[in-house]
Amino acid sequence: MKLKYSICCIALLIVSACSKDFLNQDDPNAVPVGNYFTSENDVLLAVNGLYQSLRGGNTLGEGSNLFSEQRSDNTGTNDNQSNAGEPFQFNDFSILPSNTYLKNHWVDMYDGIARCNTLLAHIDEVSFNDEETKKRYAAETKFVRALLYFHLVRKWGDIPMTTQPANNLDEVSAMAYRQKEDVVYAQLVQDLTEALDSNLPNEQWSYAVGRTSKAAINALLGQVYLTMGATLEGNSQENFQQAEKYLAAAYEMRSFGKLSEIPYTDVFDVTKKNTCKELIFQIEYLQGDQNYKSTIAADNQAKGEKINSQKVTTGVGGNVTHDLVYDYENGDTRKDFSIKFAKDPTVNDWFITKFRDASDAAGTQGYGGNDWIVIRYADVMLLLAETKWRLGKNDEAITLLDEVRERAGLPSYAESMKQATYAQQYPTLKEALLHERRVELAFENHRWFDLIRNYNADELVSYFRSKKQDDFGLANLKNITTKDRYFPIPYDEYKLDPEKMYQNPGY
């Protein structure tokens, strides 16, 4: 955790202070934080750095599926040997507090939050030509901080939370304790509400692709309220009403009519990532660039295949559970675009094809240009449909559901319910909405959050144990218990102060 490393750094400075001469010297190779923010451009560069911090696989970028999608019933690492078997622990429900991948995820997420806190603590020291520019940069920073905290609180529950940078050992120690979920959510609401009070445009197209907008802020705030209503005790109806308000606001900011106007394939087309009107917020990658490229297309490709990338691969590609394969309905056009069966005898299984860049610009090294999509309109529509269902507005929920199904070439919900197979698999509107989100947003890191929002810990265990083991490869579904609703606190964090950094039950 960032706070832990701050303790080490501050302790080192205190020891160094024993030398009077050393104390009076500045590091010629470093710029103290207090001296960095002197101009508008300094603040802009710091804001750019916040977006850059999201790119990593240990935060929210394209490689972060280990901490969400692979925890769900969509995919997983079907290899219990590589890297000491640590990646396999996530979908096998055998994760240990000592898991180094989990620790790195925790550390890098808090590093991004620390950057946000530092910027906000110093932005008032800078003179701006236009105060609206200052408010916009602050709004972007609060959006990024809220996004990171939202992922942390859903994965770990009670977490350490601060909105201020730590300046000394006492301040660090005072911050290093877990705060209750409802306290964290209250801060998310505050950050996102304040972020709306800015001159940010409704959509990224009027600002810059890869930067936040009011549509993105409304969408995130709506999902925060929906999650609060579904998972926290008390005020659920009020939270659902607020969720409806902000998700509807995001949806109404779209610059297109019906979703069917945008082909599903356009959403993931690297040549249209700067123009596709369904995209609300994405993390940018640079095609052909060794340092800033995307590798998701090549990484997901299976041996003997060429659909994703020109890069020749020898592995099995992006794993797809057979449970997901069977969940696609006949005639669903999303299936043939999203997954494919690899016939190579060393694979002989399904792999992910949703993210493609086989262009000459990406080349044989697989330096792709795929942006990582964090929020898009189909996601918002289905979240809004879920919210309306929770408020008893089934007809309005079904209208939104039908619009998503129409683009996928599927019959309406009413017509589908006349089919015995569909009605048996998804007997309630809740299950139909969960199914639609699963196939629409497969491999986009939403599935685990959908499950824990709609099922409590006991229901989650029952849900997974009702599945067929044969559809999940080596991952043992019987391993799941109520403890798996949350991740364990990384051991290095817990051992610092077992009382303030108490471990989650079952670990």
- HEC letters along 152-198: HHHHHCCEECCCCCCCCHHHHHHHCCEECHHHHHHHHHHHHHHHHCC
**Does residue 492 have a pLDDT over 50?**
yes
Return the pLDDT at 84.
Answer: 86
**What would the DSSP string read from start to end of 292-356?**
T-B-HHHHHPPTT--SS-SS---S--SB--HHHHTTSPTT-HHHHHHEEEE-STTT-EEEE-SS-
pLDDT digits (tens, 9 = 90+) for 433-486: 999 999 999 999 999 999 999 999 999 999 999 999 999 999 999 999 999 999
Of the pLDDT bands very low, low, confident and very high (cuts 50, 70, 90), residue 174 is confident
Return the pLDDT at 32.
Answer: 59
Residue that wins the pLDDT comparison between 372 and 83: 372
Average pLDDT over residues 342-357: 97
What is the C-alpha separation between 273 and 296, in angstroms, rounded? 15
Average pLDDT over residues 201-226: 97
Of the pLDDT bands very low, low, confident and very high (cuts 50, 70, 90), residue 19 is very low
Of the pLDDT bands very low, low, confident and very high (cuts 50, 70, 90), residue 29 is very low
pLDDT digits (tens, 9 = 90+) for 114-128: 999 999 999 999 999
Residue that wins the pLDDT comparison between 307 and 27: 307
pLDDT digits (tens, 9 = 90+) for 245-274: 999 999 999 999 999 999 999 999 999 999
Signed CA dihedral, 142, 145, 148, 151: sign only: negative
* Level-2 CATH architecture, domain 1-186: Alpha Horseshoe (1.25)
Amino acid at 389: W
**Does residue 14 have a pLDDT over 70?**
no
Q: Which of 221, 506, 267, 181 is nearest to 384 (CA)?
A: 221
Q: How far is CA 297 from CA 62, 264, 313, in A?
A: 10, 17, 11
Average pLDDT over residues 341-363: 98
Residue appearing with tokens 């660039």: 289
What is the C-alpha separation between 153 and 287, in angstroms, rounded? 33
Buried b (16+ CB within 10 A) or exposed e, 395-417: ebbbebbbbbbebbebbebeebb
Return the pLDDT at 34.
Answer: 62
**CB atoms closer than 10 angstroms to residue 157:** 18
Q: How far is CA 496 from CA 7, 24, 491, in A?
A: 11, 32, 9
Two structure tokens written together for 404: 């998503």
| Cα Rg of the chain, angstroms | 23
Return the pLDDT at 170.
Answer: 81
**Does residue 277 have a pLDDT over 60?**
yes
Of the pLDDT bands very low, low, confident and very high (cuts 50, 70, 90), residue 17 is very low
Q: Can you tell me whether residue 493 is helix, strand or coil?
A: helix
Signed CA dihedral, 204, 207, 208, 214: sign only: negative
Q: Can you tell me whether residue 283 is helix, strand or coil?
A: strand
The stretches of 180-270 forming alpha helices (DSSP H) are: 181-196, 214-231, 236-252
Return the pLDDT at 298.
Answer: 98
Of the pLDDT bands very low, low, confident and very high (cuts 50, 70, 90), residue 166 is confident
What is the C-alpha separation between 87 and 67, in angstroms, rounded? 9
What is the C-alpha separation between 243 and 223, in angstroms, rounded? 6
**Does residue 235 have a pLDDT over 50?**
yes
Return the pLDDT at 13.
Answer: 29
| Cα 468 from chain centroid (whole Å) | 28
What is the C-alpha separation between 427 and 420, in angstroms, rounded? 10
What is the C-alpha separation between 145 and 59, in angstroms, rounded? 12
- Percent of the chain scoring above 90 in pLDDT: 89
Output the average pLDDT for the chain. Answer: 93
**Does residue 82 have a pLDDT over 70?**
yes
What is the C-alpha separation between 418 and 415, in angstroms, rounded? 5
**Which helix (DSSP H) or strand (DSSP E) does residue 431 occupy?**
helix 429-440
* pTM for this prediction: 0.93
Of the pLDDT bands very low, low, confident and very high (cuts 50, 70, 90), residue 33 is low
What is the C-alpha separation between 421 and 427, in angstroms, rounded? 10
**CB atoms closer than 10 angstroms to residue 240:** 22
Domain assignments of the chain as residue spans, ordered by start: 1-186
Q: Which of 321, 319, 262, 260 is nearest to 471 (CA)?
A: 321
Counted residue by residue, the chain has a size of: 507
Return the pLDDT at 168.
Answer: 77
